[in-house]
Structure 1
């Protein structure tokens, strides 16, 4: 069975969403797959739409659910929830990676786990839900997607600014201030960066389409591992 047909019977069913097979396939089609199959349509336009729908839905939810937060705090939380890191986490949580339509190059280099591809495809899915099911269902879909992130206050606090959280933990526990090792790979037009950072014995790793994104992902990973190790020793 094709990936997009498996997807129709899987990750969207739990949300009560049914997309036409051709619409779902478009949302799952990465440009690398489209190029290798004669230049067929891919999901980048849907990403553009989905990004706007995501931003609006998250903004409204935060505004209504957190009436005591200042504009600045609301903006920080929104930025966290619509970030590539958050979207990739959501995508992994619903098993989106296995359904992606990727070109051979991306397949061989771990494209199904790449943060940027997962995040972009998640936006494309949101965009397609908006077109196919309408604004109300698209908004409900976004709210259900981000709910697990909002339910974990510790993780959410770190996600607002993981690099600052890492620095604060280093100072608190007497560790050296974090130093990031970043390595770039791939062609200039499609560069990917991998970052590593240490917090005591915890080593965080992360990847992204920019050095900053990779460092943020590595910082979040280091904080999570450090906090997990502390819990185990208590």
Structure 2
């Protein structure tokens, strides 16, 4: 599919029609693609701007809507809302990896699925929207796309490190043995997928997968936590 057609598809998906498509074209261009050609702009400068637009929008929203929260509580919530994982969740909803222009080499090493590349691209898109539509439009867009994340952050429902959370939860009442076993891996070296199980006192409590051992362990710990929560509710 031609890049212009892809941009049109993404515009429909996110609900934004750009007056100046150059902004979104640059936002979707990774540095690896620009390195192959002369005079091609890529999205790192837009990431820089988008980060500030995001921080300001979330800060203002939290300040105006949660008057009962302290400065420390708001700072903690903001950090969870604007973190890489939260931006990656937005990217996944948009299937953003499909639309990023990158080199073949980057693509072959899993670039389209890389968390950092997609999260950075979200920031670049926010900057593109800001430049094309103005601050009021982009603030509304940001809040609409992060409203669930904001609510979870305010209610302390976001966990970034599931392994630590699992350990803290289990060891409240004494020592518990937690072991992570790599059960298998598959795929070529540049796109290897790992599968991990977590055993609690020798019983399998969760299974996870990911494109790194760390990611698969976190995934298995997340499943174990969910099972523990379900047991507590019964």
Q: TM-score, normalised by structure 2?
A: 0.76
Moved more, 71-80 or 47-56: 71-80
Aligned to 1:69, the other structure's residue is in SS state coil
Moved more, 81-90 or 222-231: 222-231
Match of 1:175 in 2: 176
1:171–1:177 CA contact under 8 A, matched in 2: no
Q: Matches of 1:220 and 1:31 in 2, distance apart?
A: 29
* Corresponding pairs, count: 215
1:8–1:24 CA contact under 8 A, matched in 2: no
Matched, 1:53 2:59: no
Q: What are structure 1's unaligned runs of at least 5 residues? A: 182-193, 209-213
Highest CA radius of gyration, 1 or 2? 2
Match of 1:42 in 2: 42
Q: Find the partner of 2:206 among 202, 209, 231.
A: 202
Match of 2:23 in 1: 23
Q: Offset at 1:220?
A: 5.5
Q: TM-score, normalised by structure 1?
A: 0.76
Q: Matches of 1:220 and 1:154 in 2, distance apart?
A: 23
Aligned to 2:47, the other structure's residue is in SS state helix
Q: Matches of 1:146 and 1:129 in 2, distance apart?
A: 16
Q: What are structure 2's unaligned runs of at least 5 residues? A: 183-193
User: CA-atom RMSD, angstroms?
Assistant: 3.4
Distance 1:126 1:67, change over 3 A: same
Aligned to 2:35, the other structure's residue is in SS state helix
Match of 1:77 in 2: 77
Aligned to 1:202, the other structure's residue is in SS state strand
Match of 1:62 in 2: 62
Distance 1:219 1:78, change over 3 A: farther
Moved more, 65-74 or 28-37: 65-74
2:80–2:153 CA contact under 8 A, matched in 1: no
1:97–1:112 CA contact under 8 A, matched in 2: yes
Match of 1:32 in 2: 32
Cα offsets for 1:31-70 (capped at 9, x unmatched)? 0011123351100000000000000111111122222122
2:208–2:218 CA contact under 8 A, matched in 1: yes
Q: Offset at 1:219?
A: 7.2
Distance 1:98 1:68, change over 3 A: same
Matched, 1:224 2:228: no
Moved more, 113-122 or 162-171: 162-171
Q: Matches of 2:93 and 2:171 in 1, distance apart?
A: 33
Cα offsets for 1:90-131 (capped at 9, x unmatched)? 111122111011111210011111110011000000011110
1:15–1:141 CA contact under 8 A, matched in 2: no
Q: Matches of 1:140 and 1:207 in 2, distance apart?
A: 34
2:198–2:224 CA contact under 8 A, matched in 1: no
